[in-house]
A and B are shown apart, each in its own frame.
Chain A
């Protein structure tokens, strides 16, 4: 056995305020996009146990590596909204204050700078939550492309420790720590309130697991961060909480078919190929990437993102080639893993539209072996709708 770590990238990893905590918990740490992050916590069960805790109970993730960009009013009201509309593909004008939406920043080619969650903090005040590995690129992109807009850009990435509390019992856990009534907060809505005695904390019903849950944004000093983490763990004890790392975060999001930057979406893949049409509002007016997307739409799809299930023994992994029965290359895997919930080997892949219908046989090249798979419906996993508040899963 040999681990493949590139020694050139070991130096100068960035750390979240909870880094020492993760190490005290015995977490297995990895370099994730330049960040020293916990991939799993073997002493509390490891990846599969973490995955199952989130599906059946509750788990907590340190996602402080995510970045945050605030775009607010400049000299004249409306400048921030105009800027957000210009640099993102979803329609931010449709958001109520206190509502969030999945969106993306695009290159003029209609491919992805990054996917983002846009929160409307005020009438002309927005918070964009961005990926860790693309932080610098994103902030530069936002600054350059809003330069002609009358708005204020602030990078707040290091101001917050972001915790994702995820699972069917996330609401029960968090309710013990806040005076905010969490029940009326719908999926992809947020509020501010007291959490663990800290005032004015952003509490959003968002996540990256396909399960109900909340993300909270607390001050990023180590003492506060560790105290909140400890209180979350204590409040979650009755629900069987365990700390969760990026390993289970990945298997959870894959089952829910949520895109990961650098995998399902990238600078080489456009919105239609990724199947993110419903988050792209062509009718809202012009935005970066729109004209090329219009052209791409008229030209027709060349490849599309599909779900695969392995039929023969083998696990499809990121970047493996897909071939047809003659062995000719037809596409590639973007993410692949055993699914702890389904106990099957699943994957997402780009294939020609002609091979994308459910039940189509396709082969994955696993170490030069043609291994049989078939196209299956996605998401692979969808949670049962329980409470009324979750029935409004936002698509704005």
Chain B
């Protein structure tokens, strides 16, 4: 799967797509692959505040719980309600329809700390090398 060039990425494998001060946040294809079959997603409600680098929700696979970390700080505008009934979408379409939350960014400069697609792809390719070593 390709990593959209307009997105920004974290080392904890979240992505954010920002348009007009509103960021859509999700987990990457690498993340869903590491998790395995996703069976449960827990997300904050609209109005909740999230803080860059801090956990804002959980994704559970059959075997484990993983926290999701906020790429930026801001206020939650919307959580993807479809994931409650169909969490498996996170495995099939992590970069598009299986987005997690939309947030109003508190500080646009936080985006400069994130990786672009090229840097993220290099980052996970190093991780894959480690894993098969």
Chain A residues with a Cβ under 8 A of chain B? 1-3, 23, 28-29, 39-40, 42, 46-48, 247, 250-251, 313-315, 317, 337-338, 340, 367
CB contacts under 8 Å to A, within B9-40, are 12-14, 27, 31, 33-37, 39-40
List residues of B whose CB falls within 8 A of some A CB. 12-14, 27, 31, 33-37, 39-40, 42, 58-63, 65-69, 84, 131-132
Cβ contact of A247, chosen from B39, B60, B62, cutoff 8 A:
B62
Q: Which residue of A lies closest to B91 (CB)?
A: A46
Contact A1 B62 (CB under 8 A): no
Interchain CA distance A367-B84 in the complex, whole Å: 17
Looking at chain A's contact residues, the main secondary structure is mixed
Q: Are B65 and A317 in contact (CB under 8 A)?
A: yes
Q: How far is B131's CA from A29's CA once the two chains are assembled, in angstroms?
A: 9
Please tell me which one of the listed residues B12, B13, B63, B131 contacts residue A250 in the complex, with CB atoms under 8 A apart.
B63
Contacts A1-B13, A1-B35, A48-B37 given; does A39 touch B69 at CB 8 Å: no
Question: Quick one: which of B12, B37, B67 has the most chain A CB within 10 A?
Answer: B37
Contact of A1 among B27, B84, B131 (CB under 8 A): B27
Asked if A1 and B66 make an inter-chain contact with CB atoms under 8 angstroms apart, the answer reads: yes
Give A18 to B14 CA distance when docked, in angstroms. 34
A46, B27: Cα distance in complex, Å: 19
> Contacting B12 at CB < 8 Å: which of A1, A315, A337?
A1
Q: Can you pick out 13 interface pairs between chain A and chain B where the beta carbons lie within 8 Å of each other? A: A1-B66, A3-B66, A28-B34, A29-B131, A39-B63, A40-B36, A247-B36, A250-B63, A315-B40, A337-B62, A337-B63, A340-B62, A367-B58
Closest to A48 in B: B37
Is there contact, CB below 8 Å, between A47 and B36?
yes
Q: State whether A47 and B12 are in contact (beta carbons under 8 Å apart), knowing that A2-B69, A337-B62, A338-B62 are contacts in the complex.
A: no
Partner pick for A338 among B34, B39, B67, CB 8 A cutoff? B39
Leading 6 A-B pairs by shortest Cβ distance: A1-B31, A1-B66, A1-B13, A2-B12, A338-B39, A48-B37
| Chain A residue nearest in CB terms to B33 | A42
Taking a contact as CB atoms under 8 Å apart, the answer to whether B12 and A251 are in contact is no
A-B contacts besides A1-B12, A28-B36, 19 pairs, CB < 8 Å: A1-B13, A1-B14, A1-B27, A1-B31, A1-B66, A2-B66, A3-B34, A39-B63, A40-B36, A40-B63, A42-B33, A46-B37, A47-B61, A48-B37, A250-B63, A313-B84, A315-B39, A315-B40, A338-B62
**Shortest Cβ distance from B28 into A: residue:** A1
With a cutoff of 8 Å between Cβ atoms, the chain B residues found around residue A40 in the complex are 36, 63
**How far, in Å, is B28 (CB) from chain A's closest CB?**
8
CB-defined contacts of B68 to chain A, threshold 8 Å:
1
CA distance A317 to B31 in the complex (A): 21
B69, A23: Cβ atoms under 8 Å? no
Nearest-Cβ distance from residue A12 to partner chain B, whole angstroms:
14
Chain A residues within an 8 Å CB radius of B14:
1
| Minimal beta-carbon separation of B124 from chain A (angstroms) | 12
User: With a CB–CB cut-off of 8 A, which chain B residues contact A23?
Assistant: 132
Q: Which residues of A contact B40 (CB under 8 A)?
A: 313-315, 338
Query: Shortest CB–CB separation between residue B91 and chain A, in angstroms?
Result: 9
Q: Which of B13, B36, B63, B69 lies at the interface centre, i.e. has the most chain A CB atoms within 10 A of its CB?
A: B63
Closest CB of chain B to A83's CB: distance in Å?
A: 38
Which residues in B have their C-beta under 8 angstroms from that of A315? Answer: 39-40, 60, 65
Decide: B67 and A2 in contact? CB cutoff 8 A: yes
